[in-house]
Amino acid sequence: MQHTEQHLKSSDFITDMVIGMSDGLTVPFALAAGLSSAVSSNNIIITAGIAEIVAGCIAMGLGGFLAGRTELEHYQSELKREYDEVEKVPAKEMEEVKEVFAEYGLSTEAQDLIANELAKDKTKWVNFMMKFELGLEPPNPNRAVQSALTIGASYFVGGLLPLSGYIFTSTPLQGLAVSAILTIICLFVFGFFKSKVTGQPPIQGALKVTMIGLLAAGAAFGIAKVVA
């Protein structure tokens, strides 16, 4: 089954890495590009870049942590509610099972049979309601911590790359040139693998990701020049 495999491949880890790295490669690069048009010292750009990377890394990492925790808490509170409902109002829950299948044109006979059979095992019944009525999958309990670390580290690595251009050059415009070349290569490679993993056409995906980075940097460059 090709589509099941695709589902397995785009795992939580890869999703988190993509989230962290696409922002990490884009925003610090664009910020540095913007400052290159406005200030005359590489030091200020490096300081601002590092401040942004640290800020983004923590904000996105902790954001990922909270999202993971919220998902887990939400699942557990819905699970508890479904257990309560199956216990207290089983007839109503059986009606809900039937409604799910009525929507797909199944006969009342089939609906009754499914509802009656499911009602025999409360755990399976509740799991069924969680997935098919509410569309919730059991989350991985370690997801929050893993998410935070993966997103944070990817943002950090992604952000340091464009900044390195300013460390080995002496003027902001030289730094921008090196940074742009490095970042375009990285965005393209990153976009290529991201698209492969998510099952999109890789070259097209790579070009899209690269365009976003360049647009963001171009706009930041232009606007910072006007403001400064």
If the CB atoms of residues 13 and 132 are measured against its own copies, the closer one turns out to be 132
Indicate which single residue of 52, 147, 180, 210 sits in contact with its own copies (rule: CB under 8 A). Answer: 52
Interaction between residue 70 and its own copies (CB under 8 A): yes
Indicate which single residue of 11, 51, 87, 95 sits in contact with its own copies (rule: CB under 8 A). Answer: 51
Residue 189 Cβ vs its own copies, minimum distance, rounded to whole Å: 17
The sign one gets for the Cα dihedral 128, 129, 132, 135 is negative
Q: How far apart are CA 192 and CA 19, in angstroms?
A: 15
Indicate which single residue of 113, 173, 181, 185 sits in contact with its own copies (rule: CB under 8 A). Answer: 113
Start-to-end C-alpha separation, the chain = 56
Tell me the CA distances in angstroms from 56 to 30, 43, 147, one per residue in order.
13, 20, 15
Residue at 202: amino acid letter: P
* Enclosing H/E stretch for 213: helix 202-227
Binding span for its own copies by CB under 8 A among 49-57, 138-146, 171-179: 49-57
The answer to whether 125 touches 89, Cβ cutoff 8 Å, is no
Residue 176 Cβ vs its own copies, minimum distance, rounded to whole Å: 12
Residue 142 Cβ vs its own copies, minimum distance, rounded to whole Å: 19
Interaction between residue 134 and its own copies (CB under 8 A): yes
Interaction between residue 74 and its own copies (CB under 8 A): yes
Provide the angle, in degrees to the nearest 10, between the axes of the packed helices 172-197 and 42-88: 30
Binding span for its own copies by CB under 8 A among 97-105, 138-146, 168-176, 178-186: 97-105
Indicate which single residue of 21, 31, 144, 197 sits in contact with its own copies (rule: CB under 8 A). Answer: 31
Q: How far apart are CA 121 and CA 115, in angstroms?
A: 11
